[in-house]
Structure 1
Amino acid sequence: MSTFKKSALFTGTVIASAMLVTPVYAQVQDDEAREPGLEAAPDDAIVGEPIVVTGSRIPQRNVDTAAPVAVVNQEEFQLSGTVNVENVINTLPQVVPGTTSFSNNPGNGSATLNLRGLGAARNLVLVNGRRWVFFDTAQIVDLNTIPSFLIESVDVVTGGASAVYGSDAIAGVTNFRLRDVQGAELGGQYAVTERGDGASYEIHGAIGTSFDDGRGSATVFGEYFNRDSVFQGDRAFSNFALGGDPDLSQGGSSTLPSGVIRYFGDSDTTGTDFDANGAVVFDTAGDFRTRQGDLYNYAPANYLQIPQERYLFGGYADYEVGGGHGLYTEVTYVNNRVAQELAATPVTGDFDVDLSSIADFLNPADLAQLQALEAQEGDDDDIINLFLQRRTVETGSRNSLDERNAFRVLGGITGPVTDTISYDAYYSFARTRNSNIQEGNISASLFQAGLDGTSDNPINIFGPNTLTPEDVADISILAQNSDVSTLEVVNASLAGTFGDYGLFDSDPIGFALGVEYRAVGSRFIPDTALASGDVIGFNAGQPTEGSYNVKEVFAELNVPIEFGASRLELTGAGRYSDYSLENVGGVWTYAGGVEFEPVRGVLLRGQYQRAIRAPNVGELFGGAALGFPAATDPCATSAATSGTLRDLCIANGVPAGSVGDPGLQLNTQIPATFGGNPDLEEETSTSYTFGVALQPDFVPGFVITADYFNIEIEDAISTISLAQSLALCFNDVQDTTSTACQPFFAQPIRNSAGVIIVDTAVPLGGQNIASFETSGIDLEVSYDTTAPFSLFTDTGESGLNFGFLGTWTEDYTFTAFPGSDPLQCAGFFGLRCGQPQPEFKWTSRASLIDGPVTASVRWRHLGEVDDETGGFAVDTIDSYDLIDLTFAFEATEEFTVTFGVNNLFDTLPCSPTFDGTVVASCDNSLTLGDNQEQANTYPSTYDVLGRRFFVSANFNF
């Protein structure tokens, strides 16, 4: 029976938990030669060889750090059966899921990282310690652009790190380390759900070699990935849009395929068939009746899992030119295609209708009612203004295809200055271009022309399936936009030690200093229809274009002090940044840390950091864009019928007789416009961590660490969600002159009937007014030992590994603006808190390695969370557990097969049964009503595909 090589994928020394918050230690060849506290780690690290650790630029022998670092090793990607980076990173307790493959509406086809739930823009993503390519005007990295099969490890550093890396690192840093390939590697993976859908497959290859007698080395690689879509209609829990208060019930949109008319004229009567809100609905073509709470189920046509196709190519190489001086380069190209699909376009708004041109579409009695209303307006133009709602199902679903082409090139030189000091200088340029094509949109102007008699072809919207192919062609519009983002970096640094000088005969004092120049730029280029707002369907937006640069100097110092068997290490870092942005200018960031090892196996550590984030191009220069966020209009609630809230609603343009009328809010989504603010300043954060790492000699292979973290962000740039804005102004502040109420009172936001519609959408923009604070404890336990049995080797022993990584979130508060009440989100979810943020979250893995066979089980846990406000049909999501099982077999030293099942027990949101429209039964709390994100749940947090099987194979030769 074959035995493992040291470099094989699954070995007796693999840390099968693969998720460590302990320091990553340098390998030593002899246990007696270890310095106090050193632990064995990667094979390619040799005693005395300097190693650069994430969070510092100083090469060190002792590579434990003052700041806690969570490390995800490559084995976790392979054992979890994942290809996309997001699927592993989002299982970390430090991460709240960002945009994922389950983000259809809202969503943009990307995969983002949201560290500590502080926002994807507040976590700096690096690859090999350097900035990676971003994909849009928000300057956020799409994790789809990182080749997961080449990842050696992922380091997640908690707390601000701007002193070391510059802007954006205010929640922390995530560094993806890519490995060198020796020889040739070919592999692939296939996965499919138990229900036979959502299939994905991936193939990859890489070749690595050295040349010119070992002076140079190179790795080139390529990957293809394809993922099928899954629709919400393919799962019982998401097949029907749910709502309801207090009972979970069938919900949906008030914009119907058959058409709805509302008349907001001044007449005391709206006709015999109009309801109290002046609305009628068409049952059959040309024949309307009183509306009776009719709703349209938009859910089945929406993606649950978005499809994706990706091509990824690249390479990296280095060459020693002589005297220890070397050149290096990195090149990457990614073509990534993702799509979104939504239900047919809901056309809503005020339209002028020429009754003479549409007379043939209505029965005489109904036409007469409209003619009577128009006659009371006192003019002879035969045109009546109606509020129309029509779901244009004849055009088919709305489709949006994003094709992103990204490339990054980097070239650098490195070498010695003295025996103890080296230099490193590089230049990198990255560019992403995204092309977005939209189908299924409706032109507002052409729709209007088809109703007011100015078109040669009047359109018939009065009933189900009344739009002819000619009508569809007349009102449909193909829209497209593109965006271009660039990042340019020039960096030069010196790092090393002050010769052999160290305090009290300790290791030498280490230092790093350098300069950096960065230039960022982005453009959003909508076509004429999108820019003018003529598009109904996908959101319109104004062009965005802007850029800025920053010049920086930075320095670090590391002072080790040893006395007897004890060790003390002091670290410091500082950076001065000069931005071309007038409102940012020059800013300082700094950090200080200490480590103390009083006895072997006990390490105490702590760090304090001040960090910043400069506003991105979108926040600064973004053109006005239309959106439809979920929110509740306070003036449409029963609480508005009296008191100060009633007075505010009347002052806001709601007719006195309509205050408190639920009919004021037509849908759960309310139109709003979002844009940039060139007067923004930088965000600032202060963070500190302290903790302990224990590695007792009397329990070999056992490590336990606990680290407390506290992160505060001030002057945070926030548009304040529409839901938060409405609640703060109308329910909390209740002052029309306050900053919180300006979006609603500085200009009209309602039509004559008091309804917020597209034509009067709420204007929202970013401001430096918010603050965040989060704190808690990360706990890691790992144990690596042997079991006294073996089925596949002659040694009589097997490797046994256990790892646990958990986070207790003590506090997570968001304050929308100074003086407002903090919103507590630790242990909560909802329309304002967003994704569930449980107080307790952990992931753990146990593996048995018996010769060529590895068996591994992973347990993922999320604690119970409550709705932030309460009052919904489901106010609590119970604690949640998933079990994954993996087996791997090394058939030969060159060929490994891995197969497994994720979500072993097929844990899914419940499939409701209905008693009429009200849910009669539901056996778990994962299925939500009005307080959900999409698909009746939070699909980026809770599994929505169910039991999933995967198999992969890897050849090395």
Structure 2
Amino acid sequence: MFNRKTKASLLASSVIFGSLVAAPAMAQDDQSDDPTIESGAADERIVVTGTRIQRRNVETAAPVAVVDSEEFQLAGAVNVENVVNTLPQVVPGITSFSNNPGNGTASVDLRGLGATRTMLLVNGRRWMFYDTNQVVDLNTIPQFLLESVDVVTGGASAVYGSDALAGVINFRLRDLDGAEVGGQYSITERGDGDRWQVHGAIGTDFAGGRGNVTVFGEYFNREDIFQGDRDFSNFALGGSPLQQLGSSLPPETRLTYLGDGDETGTSFDGPNSGLAIFGSPGSLREYQTPGDFYNYAPVNYLQLPQERYLLGGYASYEVAPALELYTEVTYVNNRVDSELAPTPILVNTSLDIDSLVANGFIDAATEAEFRSLDATETGTDQNDGLIDVQVRRRLEEAGGRRNLDERNSFRVLAGARGDITDFLSYDAYYLYSRTRNSNIQQGNASVSRFTAAINGTGDEQINIFGAGTLTPDMVDVFRIQAQNGDISDLQVANVALSGSFGDFALGVAEPVGFAVGAEYREVNSRFIPDEFLASGDVAGFNAGEPTDGGYNVQEVFAELNVPFETESGMRFEANAAARYSDYSLDTVGGVWTYAGGLQFAPIEDIRFRVQYQRAVRAPNVAELFQGSAIGFPGANDPCATTAASSGTLRTLCAANGVDTDLLDDLGSSDPAVVAGAQNQIQPDGQIAALFGGNPNLAEETSDSWTFGVVLQPSFIPGLTITADYFDITVEDAITTISLQQALDICFNDVQDLSAPQCAGFVGRRDTTGSFGRPPLPTPNLGGANIAALTVSGIDLQINYGIDLGFSLLGNGASDLDLSFLGTWNEVANFSPDQADPTNVVECAGQFGLNCGEPTPSFKWTARANYIDGPLTVSTRWRHLSAVDDDDPFTDYFVERIAAYDLIDLTLSYDFNETVTFTVGVNNLFDTLPSSPEFNSDGQVINDTNTLLLGDFNNAEQMNTYPSTYDVLGRDFFASVVVRF
């Protein structure tokens, strides 16, 4: 018979528990029903996430958070990310709405300390990672088999090893004795974004219950949604006042004149001096801002399409009491597309006037303008028949930039465990996992081929002088398809002994528990770009050099748990853990991690706990060995601000290559003049920069404290209140200083171009005064052990369950379960230079360029379940408090994102405990980012945009933060599960 909890157990199982919130074990009559238990009945030894010691209770000094499988059903969540990222202690990582940036995966960021600092386990053991950053893709975890998701916040390296600075998330899979098939379909109210899933699993006990085999399979498909399908994301917004903006690389081709000829009377002599555009094919005219900006938004994905096949199984067989063999096998094929607007390309070159005329690419008026400029140039350039220009073109005829990631991942594990004596057991296993990603990019262009084809030095000349002028044959001259690959593998060999001895009880208590063991772990990862990306001769997707590296670590570890209990029932418990790790990396070598905690329960109604943990994280392959790659981060050039019109900043910017006339224009009283100068100094919100690895990196360290209390008053049956304070500090954090921070340090703080902090910006501006794209990117922003991260706050959980004493369906009685889980973020600080205590970015209650995703001061999830026999009616309330922009120097259109609430509703019905049918609607009131209203000049005129984020440099994408705020709208789902 299929093992399944009844609806009456929803008091604990329907609640999303927070990371520092313990599962209320004392409120449960039967501990075998507690989701933190790995295996065994209530009178058997069990294993709790956060320790390797087998115990007879689930109370730990480091509280365990639990998300039960029922929550996934009630939330209509097929992908693990859809529930995990709603936890109050989680800041969303990469999600299904991460198109730019995005890589087709889903990650989790515990406490906002970064996905690389959050360790993910499955059944207490490491899972497979997918790239050189060694991050687990949540898409590879079978949601339909989850028993629970356990979360421990705070360093857990002493128990599990490197990476657990923020904490551990353990996904527990359930054994089956029976079969189930099921499926789910979801669709938005607007009739798009279809998602459907089918799965099947079968398990059976054999050999008189000494063995179990479970096999499973799943297919999942998610359809795309484009940004143009939602009003709030249909336009690229920016500027002050907020208006329809976009890119300065339009499909008509924009030219910047780079010569010294007289522009008077030409199209370059307009409000945007030196700039012109082909308003119609072959015909040049003045360039207008923002009217000639290209709106790239509508052709970008809002929801990425996905197709997934997942197969696997696990089995165990007890050969003898001292030997149980077990194995796990998983294979995942995951295909995710991302789609960006057509390739923007920028080159500086010379145009041959005679060649353009002979090919009929330009009309007579444009020819006359070119010849006028050529005739007034000086020196050898005069009347040479060439015009020096910067070309900015959107290659629409080449199609969109499509990025297909197809990841094939597999993981195999074999192990043996058993009891050596009544008080001593062992567990040994070996696992190997490997992920191979095939990345195919369409829509790229070869910069060298494109340049040669427009200046006449190539075999063929192409016509870029107007929208739609490129024929398919012309496109074939420069268009390239890039094929890249990633290969990552992990090996772990682990052996552990655990048991108990002695009895320190003054009355009755458990024996002292211990665990000792050793582990060998090896990681390797490679990124293999094709020749175009590796050489840098590419426009479209970012170029990057190959990455190849790995390392191994040998570890020994130990844990100890000592309980004390008096005859009156007063209980004390002390625990300790330590691990020594010897890395093959010379920069890390041998390191210690350790932990200690205490619990004190003066009476059964109340329990206090405190825990300290010291954790480490060794640098990953990307941080150590990544080849140089070009990126385009959002940043504001200080020389494009009005502050650069005078004083030291003006002098600095002029010395750095910004035209003094433009700097004077920044001080104009005419907003149009100021805007024109800003657009020339910084024509785009993104600035090219180099990123790469640093083989000299050492380990990060963290110190975490938790203090908590659990109240279960006997005079209020069914009530549990848990509060935990957390404080985590990460030192020597590996950080790639952001381009914005580097610019601010150089131009606003140091203000000395000869200083080391400014070296990367010298000689990096092009002839227009702006930071150029390749071959003039800003400096390598490689990682270093220089930063500090600090987070602190309180998690509060309240659970209350009551028997209502009546039934609407005639079942005699019904239950009402109420739960609240909230987090108060007291501190969320980032110190880019830990040696400078005055340089701290405070992100609690903030969002923006420095802080990224919003970190609300208060975040909570509340759920109410009415359970009447086979019927469950459930509603969920998700809340984020308001957040403020983190830039104190600039007033954006939206300086504050208002408080945000979502209501979800679910109805579930069991038919004879064989068939469960569930329907629901998420975002019941269709709460979406506000749709802007525009005047005739394209300026936003309504001021009710609670989620539109002012300057487009601040928004992650889509004019909002789509991983934090819902972008689908009212969303319906229906699912059915049949059990045999």
Alignment TM-score, normalising by the size of structure 2: 0.94
Deviates more, 1:596-605 or 1:912-921: 912-921
Q: Deviations over 1:46-87 (max 9, x none)?
A: 333111111111011121111122210000000000100001
Structure 1, unpaired ranges of 5+: none
Q: Indicate which of 862, 869, 893 corresponds to 1:851.
A: 869
Does the aligned pair in 2 maintain the 1:910–1:922 contact within 8 Å? no
CA distance in 2 between partners of 1:756 and 1:102 (Å): 30
Q: Indicate which of 912, 915, 921 corresponds to 1:895.
A: 915
CA distance in 2 between partners of 1:944 and 1:237 (Å): 9
The alpha carbon displacement at 1:271 in A equals: 6.1
CA distance in 1 between partners of 2:403 and 2:279 (Å): 31
The alpha carbon displacement at 1:587 in A equals: 0.8
Matches within 5 A, 1:280-299: 280-293=276-289, 294-299=292-297
Q: Indicate which of 520, 540, 543 corresponds to 1:517.
A: 520
CA separation of 1:271/1:503 partners in 2, compared to 1, >3 Å: closer, same or farther?
Answer: farther
Does the aligned pair in 2 maintain the 1:809–1:840 contact within 8 Å? yes
Question: In the alignment, which residue of structure 1 is the partner of 2:321?
Answer: 323
The alpha carbon displacement at 1:445 in A equals: 1.1
Q: Deviations over 1:812-840 (max 9, x none)?
A: 11111132520111001001110110000
Question: In the alignment, which residue of structure 2 is the partner of 1:767?
Answer: 784
CA distance in 2 between partners of 1:178 and 1:648 (Å): 60
Does the aligned pair in 2 maintain the 1:576–1:587 contact within 8 Å? yes
Counterpart AA for 1:361: F
Question: In the alignment, which residue of structure 1 is the partner of 2:903?
Answer: 883
The alpha carbon displacement at 1:938 in A equals: 0.6
CA distance in 1 between partners of 2:872 and 2:724 (Å): 31
Question: In the alignment, which residue of structure 2 is the partner of 1:812?
Answer: 828
CA distance in 2 between partners of 1:578 and 1:311 (Å): 38
CA distance in 2 between partners of 1:6 and 1:464 (Å): 64
Question: In the alignment, which residue of structure 2 is the partner of 1:181?
Answer: 176
CA distance in 2 between partners of 1:726 and 1:811 (Å): 26
Q: Indicate which of 15, 18, 23 corresponds to 2:12.
A: 15
Question: In the alignment, which residue of structure 1 is the partner of 2:948?
Answer: 927
Q: Indicate which of 798, 803, 827 corresponds to 2:814.
A: 798
Q: Secondary structure of 2:94's match?
A: coil
Does the aligned pair in 2 maintain the 1:777–1:809 contact within 8 Å? yes
Question: In the alignment, which residue of structure 1 is the partner of 2:586?
Answer: 582
Question: In the alignment, which residue of structure 1 is the partner of 2:638?
Answer: 634
CA distance in 1 between partners of 2:686 and 2:550 (Å): 33
Question: In the alignment, which residue of structure 2 is the partner of 1:466?
Answer: 469
Counterpart AA for 2:851: C
Q: Secondary structure of 2:66's match?
A: strand
Counterpart AA for 2:852: G
CA distance in 1 between partners of 2:37 and 2:161 (Å): 29
Does the aligned pair in 1 maintain the 2:13–2:69 contact within 8 Å? no
CA distance in 1 between partners of 2:110 and 2:213 (Å): 33
CA distance in 1 between partners of 2:706 and 2:503 (Å): 31
The alpha carbon displacement at 1:720 in A equals: 1.5
Q: Indicate which of 247, 250, 253 corresponds to 2:244.
A: 250
CA separation of 1:737/1:213 partners in 2, compared to 1, >3 Å: closer, same or farther?
Answer: farther
CA separation of 1:948/1:496 partners in 2, compared to 1, >3 Å: closer, same or farther?
Answer: same
Does the aligned pair in 1 maintain the 2:255–2:389 contact within 8 Å? yes
Does the aligned pair in 1 maintain the 2:226–2:299 contact within 8 Å? yes
Question: In the alignment, which residue of structure 1 is the partner of 2:670?
Answer: none
CA separation of 1:517/1:406 partners in 2, compared to 1, >3 Å: closer, same or farther?
Answer: same
Question: In the alignment, which residue of structure 2 is the partner of 1:279?
Answer: 275
Q: Indicate which of 613, 616, 619 corresponds to 2:623.
A: 619
Counterpart AA for 1:792: L
Q: Indicate which of 108, 111, 114 corresponds to 2:109.
A: 114
The alpha carbon displacement at 1:627 in A equals: 1.1
Q: Secondary structure of 2:941's match?
A: strand
Does the aligned pair in 2 maintain the 1:124–1:168 contact within 8 Å? yes
Does the aligned pair in 2 maintain the 1:16–1:803 contact within 8 Å? no
The alpha carbon displacement at 1:282 in A equals: 1.0
The alpha carbon displacement at 1:644 in A equals: 2.2
Does the aligned pair in 2 maintain the 1:223–1:312 contact within 8 Å? yes
1:378 and 2:380 matched:
yes
Counterpart AA for 1:595: Q
Question: In the alignment, which residue of structure 2 is the partner of 1:943?
Answer: 966
Q: Indicate which of 385, 397, 400 corresponds to 1:397.
A: 400
Counterpart AA for 1:197: D
1:600 and 2:599 matched:
no
Q: Deviations over 1:504-548 (max 9, x none)?
A: 763211111111111111100010011111111111111100011
Q: Deviations over 1:567-624 (max 9, x none)?
A: 1111111111111111111111111111110111201001111111111100111011
CA separation of 1:576/1:825 partners in 2, compared to 1, >3 Å: closer, same or farther?
Answer: same
Q: Secondary structure of 1:473's match?
A: helix
Counterpart AA for 2:535: S
Q: Secondary structure of 2:83's match?
A: helix
Q: Deviations over 1:107-162 (max 9, x none)?
A: 11110000111111110011111111001100000100001011111111111111
1:343 and 2:341 matched:
yes
Question: In the alignment, which residue of structure 1 is the partner of 2:140?
Answer: 145
The alpha carbon displacement at 1:26 in A equals: 6.0
Q: Deviations over 1:223-254 (max 9, x none)?
A: 00000000000011111111121x32111111
Q: Secondary structure of 2:116's match?
A: helix
CA separation of 1:926/1:766 partners in 2, compared to 1, >3 Å: closer, same or farther?
Answer: same
Counterpart AA for 2:950: G
Q: Deviations over 1:193-244 (max 9, x none)?
A: 0010001000000000012222211100000000000000001111111112
Question: In the alignment, which residue of structure 2 is the partner of 1:685?
Answer: 702
Q: Deviations over 1:371-412 (max 9, x none)?
A: 444452514764443111111111121111100000000011
CA distance in 1 between partners of 2:808 and 2:104 (Å): 46
The alpha carbon displacement at 1:459 in A equals: 0.8
CA distance in 2 between partners of 1:270 and 1:183 (Å): 84
Matches within 5 A, 1:907-926: 907-916=927-936, 917-921=938-942, 923-926=944-947
The alpha carbon displacement at 1:435 in A equals: 0.6
1:756 and 2:782 matched:
no
Q: Deviations over 1:884-911 (max 9, x none)?
A: 0000011222111000100000000111
Counterpart AA for 1:618: A
CA separation of 1:266/1:41 partners in 2, compared to 1, >3 Å: closer, same or farther?
Answer: closer
The alpha carbon displacement at 1:270 in A equals: 6.9
Q: Secondary structure of 2:648's match?
A: helix
Q: Secondary structure of 1:378's match?
A: helix
Provide the alpha-carbon RMSD of the alignment.
2.1
Q: Secondary structure of 1:919's match?
A: coil
Alignment TM-score, normalising by the size of structure 1: 0.96
Does the aligned pair in 2 maintain the 1:226–1:308 contact within 8 Å? yes
Matches within 5 A, 1:80-479: 80-245=75-240, 247-267=241-261, 269=263, 272-274=266-268, 275=270, 276-293=272-289, 294-359=292-357, 360-374=360-374, 376=377, 377-379=379-381, 382-479=385-482
Q: Secondary structure of 1:402's match?
A: strand
The alpha carbon displacement at 1:418 in A equals: 2.1
CA distance in 1 between partners of 2:554 and 2:574 (Å): 28
Deviates more, 1:186-195 or 1:45-54: 45-54
Does the aligned pair in 1 maintain the 2:894–2:945 contact within 8 Å? no
Does the aligned pair in 1 maintain the 2:181–2:199 contact within 8 Å? yes
The alpha carbon displacement at 1:349 in A equals: 2.8
1:671 and 2:688 matched:
yes
Does the aligned pair in 2 maintain the 1:420–1:499 contact within 8 Å? no
Q: How many residue pairs are counted as aligned between the two chains? A: 946
Q: Indicate which of 620, 643, 649 corresponds to 2:647.
A: 643
Question: In the alignment, which residue of structure 2 is the partner of 1:956?
Answer: 979
CA separation of 1:733/1:174 partners in 2, compared to 1, >3 Å: closer, same or farther?
Answer: farther
Question: In the alignment, which residue of structure 2 is the partner of 1:56?
Answer: 51
Structure 2, unpaired ranges of 5+: 667-676
Does the aligned pair in 2 maintain the 1:241–1:250 contact within 8 Å? yes
Counterpart AA for 2:341: A
